[in-house]
Every structure is written in C-alpha cells, then in structure tokens.
C-alpha cells in the first residue's frame, strides 16, 4: 500500500498535507487545473491550481461567514450577485432566505460547477434547483463592467486568490463597478486573504487599500478556516451606508429562524474585533 497525500505549499518552507483515500478526478480546464480528492478528516475536497477551495467538513464556516454577516446588517436584501463560488455553497446559503428575489451567479469556469454537481452535491445542491438563481459562465470583471447601475443590494465575491483568473477581481476597475451596480443600501463582501503569512498579508493589504479608497465604509472580519493557509482567513465588508456593527439587526436576523453551525449574532460582533497586528497592518495599507 502506497500512502497518498495532498500537499499544498503555504510558504516556501511550510506545507499543509491531508492523507488522501482516493484522487477522484483531475483535469485542466481552459482556466485552471481542477482536482477532487477523498479523505477521512475533511471528507471530499477540491483544489484549483493546487490551492484548497472547499472541503466537505469545513465549508460551512466559509459559507456562513460570506452570507449571513451582510444579511444580518441589511435583512431586506433582495437582489444578489455572486461572483465565482462555482461549488455552489454561497448560493445554497443565500437561497435559504425566502424573501430573496433574485440571485445572479457569475462563474468563469463551467467545469467547476459541473464537477461540483457530480462530486460535491453537498454544496452544489441548489445550482439547478431554485428558479430565483441564474447562472452565467463568464468573467466576473466583464459582467460588472457591463451591468446596469444600482441593480443589486449585495455582491458576494467568492473568488480564488489574486493569481490566475481571479486577478481582475482585486482591481480598482472591479471595485468601482461593484459600487456602481450596487443600490444605495448596497453591501460588497470580498475575498480578503489571510493576515498571517507575509505573501498573503501583502494581498490583504493591497485589497484593503483599494476598497478603502472606493467605499465610504470598509471593514474587515475574520474567521477560522482549518484548511486555508494559516487557518486564519478574512473577508472585507464594504458599503455605501451600513456599518456592520452599528447597523446589525440582531432581532430581525434571529426572526428568520435559520439554523447555522458557525454564524451567530454574538460571533458577528466578535468577528470584526481584530488582533493588534492585523489592525496595524490594515491601518498602514
Ligand atoms: N466557495 C468557496 C470556493 C471558492 S472557488 C472560487 C471560484 O471563483 C472558482 O470556481 C473560480 O473558477 C472562480 N473565479 C475565479 N476567477 C473568476 C472570475 N474572474 N470571474 C468569475 N469567477 C471566477 C473560493 C475559494 C477561496 C480560496 C481562498 N484561498
């Protein structure tokens, strides 16, 4: 018996490995290298260009934090744009709100969606089920460049890191267009990388400085993601008028009656309380 391990370089001299029971699928799409694996501890997982995207066991943390934070700040959100998120986890969570009227999801790589439907039904379960959801297979940057003004209340940027196809989603052009297509009450949640390892912290600062320059309100919140580099991951919260703490609608969110395994309204407050070194590095961004 040969031991099979999935190994990801988190730094040049630091690696993260998961013992693999089976390498289920491997292919190169026009956009990226896609792999699916089976493991004991994290269940099924998939990677793009050798970077972890989703595991069955910890995906609830990421998908709770990308969706429920903005929904608890503005519970009247009705029109949502998801950029990326081909595994379907973000769409699944946002569609749990019955009052949401429309979700447009723009994923650059149709193969990610099709393979997740095959191998990860846990996250992809709503992708061909809910009539409120429309899937577009195109570049998210181009999509927002061409979209009309003020047509969404919420944009969720569930993208890869700023290398490869995700790069354009970390630019002024993208953030400005997001601002334009958002309503007055609009909120943008975006990938903010990790504060710990220098190469990721560098991207965190770059993303934050651009968002800070684009939106009147730009905050950062943290969560614990066991399979992402350093386990410490961030999302950005940007908006035209809502402050994620002062405007938290605790009661209204609890009245939705959604059961969540990671998110709760106490954690909501705590997630925006950042360690000193993270605060300092964001202030200097
Ligand atoms: N739900 C967590 C999973 C992801 S996957 C990110 C998705 O973004 C991928 O399916 C990728 O194909 C898509 N994507 C990348 N660039 C673009 C683009 N320009 N337009 C639209 N979709 C895009 C996120 C994992 C986060 C990992 C953090 N290390």
Supply the ipTM of this predicted assembly. Answer: 0.98
Query: Catalytic positions, please?
Result: 158
Pocket of ligand 1 (CB under 6 A): 48, 51, 53-54, 62, 83-87, 89-90, 106-109, 112, 139-141, 158-161, 165-166, 168-169, 228
Which residue's CA is minimally distant from atom 1 of ligand 1?
85
Q: Is it true that 4-55 and 59-283 share their CATH fold?
A: no
pLDDT value at 41 more than 90: yes
DSSP 24-65: EEEEE-SS-EEEEEEESSS-EEEEETTEEEEETTTHHHHHHH
The DSSP element (H or E) to which 115 belongs, if any, is: helix 110-119
Q: Is 161 annotated as a binding residue?
A: yes
Separation in Å, CA 112 to CA 48, 115, 242: 9, 5, 33
Atom in ligand 1 nearest the alpha carbon of residue 89:
1
Class assignment of domain 4-55? mainly beta
**Ligand 1, residues 10, 54, 86: which to mutate, most atoms within 8 A of Cβ?**
86
Looking at the chain, the whole-number percentage of residues with pLDDT higher than 90 is 97
On whether 107 is known to bind a ligand per the annotation, the reply is yes
Q: What's residue 145's pLDDT?
A: 98
Q: Compute the Cα dihedral for 120, 124, 129, 135 and give only its sign.
A: negative
User: How sure is the predictor about 1, in pLDDT bands with cuts at 50, 70 and 90?
Assistant: confident
pLDDT at 70: 98
Domain ranges within the chain, ordered by starting residue: 4-55, 59-283
Q: CATH assignment of 59-283, given 3.40.50.2020, 3.40.50.1100, 3.40.640.10, 3.40.50.150?
A: 3.40.50.150
Which pTM does this prediction carry? Answer: 0.98
Centre of ligand 1 from the C-alpha of residue 53, in Å: 8
Q: What is the pLDDT of residues 129-180, one digit of tens each?
A: 899 999 999 999 999 999 999 999 999 999 999 988 999 999 999 999 999 9
What are 21-38's pLDDT values in tens digits? 999 999 999 999 999 999
């Amino acid at each position: 018996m040969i031991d099979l391990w999935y190994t990801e370089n988190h730094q040049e001299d630091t690696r993260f490995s998961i013992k693999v029971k089976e390498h289920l699928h491997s292919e190169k799409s026009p956009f990226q290298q896609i792999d699916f694996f089976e493991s004991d501890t994290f269940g099924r997982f998939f990677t793009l260009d050798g970077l972890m995207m989703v595991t069955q066991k910890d995906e609830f943390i990421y998908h709770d934090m990308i969706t429920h934070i903005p929904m608890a700040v503005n519970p009247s959100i009705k029109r949502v744009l998801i950029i990326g998120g081909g595994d379907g986890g973000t769409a699944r969570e946002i569609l749990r709100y019955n009052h949401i009227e429309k979700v447009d999801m723009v994923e650059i790589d149709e193969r990610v969606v099709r393979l997740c439907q095959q191998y990860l039904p846990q996250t992809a379960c709503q992708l061909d089920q809910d009539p409120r959801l429309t899937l577009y297979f195109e570049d998210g940057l181009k999509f927002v460049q061409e979209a009309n003004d003020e047509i969404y209340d919420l944009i969720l940027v569930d993208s890869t890191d700023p290398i490869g196809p995700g790069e354009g989603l970390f630019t002024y052009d993208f953030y400005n267009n997001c601002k334009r297509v958002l309503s007055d009450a609009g909120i943008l949640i975006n990938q903010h990388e990790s504060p710990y390892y220098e190469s990721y912290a560098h991207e965190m600062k770059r993303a934050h400085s651009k968002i800070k320059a684009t939106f009147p309100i730009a905050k950062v919140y943290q969560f614990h993601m066991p399979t992402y580099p350093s386990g410490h991951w961030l999302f950005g919260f940007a908006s035209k008028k809502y402050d994620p703490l002062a405007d938290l609608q605790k009661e209204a969110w609890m009245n939705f009656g959604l059961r969540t395994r990671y998110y709760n309204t106490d954690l909501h407050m705590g997630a925006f309380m950042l360690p000193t070194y993270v605060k300092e590095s964001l202030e200097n961004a």
